[in-house]
Chains A and B, each alone.
Chain A
Amino acid sequence: PRLMQVRWTRYNPSYMEPEVNKEFYKKPLEELTEEEREKMELKAVRPIKAAPPNLSSSVFSDPMISKFTNMMMRNGNKVLARSLMTQTLEAIKRKQLEKYHKAPENEKETIECNPYVIFHQALKNCQPIIGLSNITKGGKTYQVPVPLKDNRKRFLAMKWLITECRENKHRRTLMPEKLSQELLLAFNNEGPVIKRKHVLHKMAEANRAYAHFRWW
């Protein structure tokens, strides 16, 4: 890495995490709970860890969007990944706004133009509820249906979206175009990613018999 790292993973345990949210500091003292009051007193005395580069105090920052950009990033090229993300959001907004302006009055409220709402809803629609894991018993490996943790669900949804865009599309289309199309389809519960989720659910349903192999 070219930059000198300031934030190490091994800090002295007395170091505290930085608080970036501006709203927190604007609250008057009476509204804070007991724990928060203790934390504020500690902050006056203890040293604080350096803030990581992907943490921002901007009102427009969104942790899901930054996670998605990190997953799209290749070879550490965050500049390119972030510009692709902004172009995708803009493309979604343009498509929806064009539809909005051409629609008749009574349908205008049903069209969602906010790209962030569409992004979050599409991710939620793509998240599988139940997954499969390989468990070896008696020499044979079985695909056992297993409940997934929230983080794993989010990761799988994002991973499926990105691989779908990278592999199954025409070579010459640009990533923002492909991604905006996929996100809009997922928002309406259509498209190949939703199909993949349904296929996974069906496999899990088919392998119900092995569910007792799970021990956690």
Chain B
Amino acid sequence: LDHGYGLPTAAKDFLSSVATQDVPTPERPRAIFHTSESDPAKHTEQHEGRHYGIPLEEVKAVFPHGLPSRFQQQIQTFNEARVMVRKPALELFAYLRSSNFAHPAVRYVIYGERGTGKTMILCHVVHYCSRQGWLVLHIPDAHLWVKNCKELLQSSYNKDRLDQPLQASTWLKNFKISNERFLRELKTQKKYVWGKRESTEEGRPLGEVVDQGLARVRSASDAVGVVLKEIKQQCHHGSFRLLVAVDGVNALWGRTTLRKEDKSPVSPGELTLVHNLRKMVMNNWSGGAIVTTLSQTGSLFKPSSAYLPQELLGKEGFDALDPFVPVPVPNYSPREFESCYGYYLERKWLQHEKARTEDGKAELQFLSGSNPRQLDRLAGPL
């Protein structure tokens, strides 16, 4: 629990925000870097800079895909999943709470330099929405759909487009794990014919469409398209809220590294998955929100110093996403850095004897420049 005690200079600013309860015996001086509030809906400015824990079963249910790989290793080593509450996330929660769901969906674009924590903020928002009972459409990394694809099939639905069975089937599998409940409740509103002998009648639960896509991998991309279309149509009625969370949205409007059989380059618009996702990200539906992240790390043909929306999205992407709310994510503030450092010390991640001294801390802050990714990389071997 949050207790404030007599501490060395480092964490005095935490004390000022906590209602100090004068309990004489200090149990765990580092406990103030944690908060026991595991429901994101109740996070306020008071919790800013602290880490909150997500129970491991919830992690497996809500995030079958989507967490960064280093964070997954961290969960495995420490046996717990702790995410820091940061200001951009609290801002987004305020916007989501006060948004009018009768109006068209608002688009939020989280941008920032490399390694400042954009994906983690997106995951925080996804956790919040899944706790509130929204239907979450989480695409872990749109860049994975435009590069390194082993199989490209010509789509049977539309001759110009290309299908990606592997990526579509992995996404469907993860989508099924995270949204079991909705797949049973929502019903299809049209009849879909998959082949000569397979079709889905009107009024069947959406879970059947997903199973069809998983069973017949050739039509997995079309199954994804059907699922997206159905969800978008039914969101108007207001029986559920929809959150579209896309990581690396700049992949949808850039270039791809894929080539057709005659070695001509493929543009993203020719891929069925990307085409359907672009339709989802348009603001012509109501009853939910679209939260996206720009990412330079996986992007193709973009310089490494580019992080602003105009540079990463390009003209086409920017025009498509045009009325959006930008949410900048800065590096760690001194308070957040203290919190992260304290967390690593408490979990015994920083093992070097000199890392505990003031000199060591100053050196870590200088070398990482308060950048979360650099701090994580530096603290690894120490």
Contact = CB atoms under 8 A, between A and B. Distances in A.
Contacts of B257: none
A100 B351 CA distance: 13
Report, as a range, how many residues of chain A touch the other chain. 10 to 19
A100 B78 CA distance: 10
Nearest to B367: A58
Contacts of A58: 363
B348 A97 contact: yes
Judged by DSSP, the binding face of A is helix
A146 to B, nearest CB: 37
Contact of B79 (A60, A89, A101, A116): A101
B27 interface: no
B357 A115 contact: no
A59 B73 CA distance: 27
B348 A85 contact: no
B381 A89 contact: yes
Interface in B27-80: 73, 76-79
A93 B73 CA distance: 12
B70 to A, nearest CB: 10
Given A59-B363, A60-B360, A60-B363, A114 B381 contact: no
A59 B359 contact: yes
A60 B354 contact: yes
Interface in B338-365: 348-349, 351-355, 357, 359-360, 363
A115 B363 contact: no
B351 A85 contact: no
Contacts, number: 49
Contacts of A207: none
Judged by DSSP, the binding face of B is helix
A78 to B, nearest CB: 16
B345 to A, nearest CB: 13
Contacts of A211: none
Contact of A113 (B351, B380, B381): B351
A35 interface: no
Contacts of A115: 351, 381
A22 B381 CA distance: 23
Nearest to A23: B359
A59 B354 contact: yes
A65 to B, nearest CB: 9
B18 interface: no
B380 A101 contact: no
A97 B352 CA distance: 14
Interface in A64-106: 85-87, 89-90, 93-94, 97-98, 100-101
B357 A93 contact: no
B10 interface: no
A36 B353 CA distance: 28
A89 B357 contact: no
A211 to B, nearest CB: 42
Contact of B381 (A85, A98, A101): A85
20 contacts: A59-B357, A59-B360, A59-B363, A60-B355, A85-B381, A86-B380, A87-B380, A89-B381, A89-B382, A90-B380, A93-B349, A93-B381, A94-B77, A100-B348, A101-B79, A113-B348, A114-B351, A114-B353, A115-B351, A116-B352
Interface of A: 22, 58-60, 85-87, 89-90, 93-94, 97-98, 100-101, 113-116
10 smallest CB-CB distances across A and B, nearest first, come from: A89-B381, A90-B380, A86-B381, A59-B354, A114-B351, A94-B77, A90-B381, A97-B77, A101-B79, A59-B359
Interface of B: 73, 76-79, 348-349, 351-355, 357, 359-360, 363, 377, 380-382
